[in-house]
Amino acid sequence: MEERKKVLYSAVQPTNDLTIGNYIGAIQNWVKLQNDYDCYFAVANMHAITVRQNPAELRRRTADMAALLIACGINPENSVLYVQSHVPAHAELCWTLNTFTYVGEMERMTQFKDKSKKHADNINMGLMDYPVLMAADILLYQADYVPVGLDQRQHVEIARDIAQRFNNVYSPTFKMPEALFLKVGAKICDLLDPTKKMSKSAENPNGSVFLNDDRDTIIRKFKRAVTDSGSEVRYDPENKAGVSNLLSIYSVFSGKSIEKAEADFAGKGYGEFKLAVGEVVADKLAPLQAEWQRLLADKAYLDGVLKSGAERAERTANRTLAKVYKKVGFYSLKD
């Protein structure tokens, strides 16, 4: 008999446009993992509303994100791709898990503290409950692995604590998930401040290259990228952060090694180099952007994918939820 694949769960909030850093650091890894694991990928729109959103924009970004994931190579026939709010079990399990989570531990969460400062006028219960909803996401699918960035480490740890607590009070119910911190091919930094990671919510959008930037915008951003004094195109992250970042980007997008990239630009100036990096990124993104637009124009197809994704997700999620409801003592009706 074929061995059952391990389950992998991850989600992304539809709150900001994604950058080439997100593409290289997260999405490309999801795409690579999808053959080896039973994958669930969600667009976490319920997490998104913990910070006030414009409704029309949230709706648009949700479809955008789903289409983008498909355009990047997530295969919805294989992986389960769905929108979080389409599967009621997330909210339902979250409620139950709330009763296994202490207020004190939520108050101490790093992201809650950061976001409370940033959104001091709207420190709502949902913001505080964010980690419990995330625990519900993960635990509903009995996930073995959760690929996330380091900033989400604490959230996966809390999910484990909550799972353990529930299992101890009743009997083994939830699989203990493990965070998977993937080795990223290259860390992609801000073009204007190469000591910082490229961010989808950076103050100056000219430092980030977004997956929906058109060719001219991409080339303009690279032309304006910060380099260093000197004129040699050489990989030296300590002394030449800007040039090194551009070399990394060039290497990732062209598939050439850093050494080969250095050789390509030996004796050439920064201007020519920056233009070449912009071009290679724009060229690589062009087919992805075309596919993305094609999917967004085909609402019937996209909705079909998301509907079937939600149905498949629900089947797994409801199985876990039924166990939980039984264990906590919720009265059930005879069909």
Does 138 sit near ligand TRP (CB under 6 A)?
Answer: yes
Q: Which is nearer to ligand TRP, 10 or 254 (CB)?
A: 10
Distance between CA atoms of residues 155 and 148, nearest Å: 10
Helix, strand and coil in the chain, % to nearest 5: 55, 10, 35
- Interaction between residue 79 and ligand TRP (CB under 6 A): no
Task: Single out the residue of 7, 8, 13, 265 in contact with ligand TRP (rule: CB under 6 A).
Answer: 13
Closest approach, Cβ 15 to ligand TRP, in A, equals 8
CA angle in degrees (0–180, nearest 5) for 58-60-64: 115
The arrangement of strands across the sheet holding 7-12 comes to 80-83, 38-43, 7-12, 145-147, 178-180
Q: How far is the CB of 293 from ligand TRP (least distance, A)?
A: 25
CA–CA separation, 225 and 192 (whole Å)? 6
If one asks whether residue 50 binds ligand TRP (CB under 6 A), the answer comes out as no
Rounded to whole angstroms, the Cα distance separating 25 from 18 reads 11
Q: Distance (Å, rounded) from C-alpha 67 to C-alpha 32?
A: 18
175 is catalytic: no
Does residue 62 interact with ligand TRP by CB under 6 A?
no
* Binding residue (CB under 6 A) for ligand TRP from 7, 8, 10, 81: 10
How far is CA 207 from each of CA 104, 191, 258, rounded to the nearest angstrom? Answer: 38, 4, 22
Q: What is the closest distance, in whole angstroms, from the C-beta atom of residue 318 to ligand TRP in the complex? A: 18
The window from 3-11, 69-77, 220-228, 285-293 that contacts ligand TRP (CB under 6 A) reads 3-11
Of 43 and 249, nearer to ligand TRP (C-beta) is 43
Question: Does residue 47 belong to the site contacting ligand TRP (CB under 6 A)?
Answer: yes
Give 193: exposed, middle or buried? Use CB within 10 Å, 0-12, 13-18, 19+: middle
Q: How far is the CB of 177 from ligand TRP (least distance, A)?
A: 8
From 197, 223, 323, 327, the catalytic residue: 197
Give the Cα separation of 184 and 115 in Å (integer). Answer: 26
- Choose which of 80, 132, 134, 162 interacts with ligand TRP (CB under 6 A): 134
Residue 179: CB minimum distance to ligand TRP, A: 9
CB of 176 to ligand TRP, least distance (A): 14
Catalytic one of 5, 32, 113, 115: 115
Q: Using the rule CB under 6 A, which residue among 19, 22, 62, 152 binds ligand TRP? A: 152
Residue 146 as a binder of ligand TRP (CB under 6 A): the answer is yes
Residue 110 tokens read as: 């790093």
Q: Which residues of 29-62 are buried (b: 16+ CB within 10 A; e: fewer)?
A: bbbebbeebbbbbbbbbbbbbbbebeeeebeebb
Stretch 202-221: interaction string toward ligand TRP, x if CB under 6 A: --------------------
Taking the least distance from each CB to ligand TRP, the nearer of 40 and 273 is: 40
Please state at what angle helix 215-223 crosses helix 270-297, rounded to 10 degrees: 150
Please state the length of the chain. Answer: 335
**Active site annotation includes 187:** no
197 is known as an active-site residue:
yes
**Do the Cβ atoms of 65 and 26 come closer than 8 Å?**
no
Type and span of the H or E element at 321: helix 299-328
Consecutive H or E run containing 89 = helix 89-98
Tell me: does residue 127 bind ligand TRP (CB under 6 A). Answer: no
Say which of 175, 200, 223, 284 is annotated catalytic: 200
Q: Is 83 in the site for ligand TRP (CB under 6 A)?
A: no
Residues lying near ligand TRP in the complex (CB under 6 A):
9-13, 44, 47, 134, 137-138, 146, 148, 152
The catalytic residues are 115, 197, 200
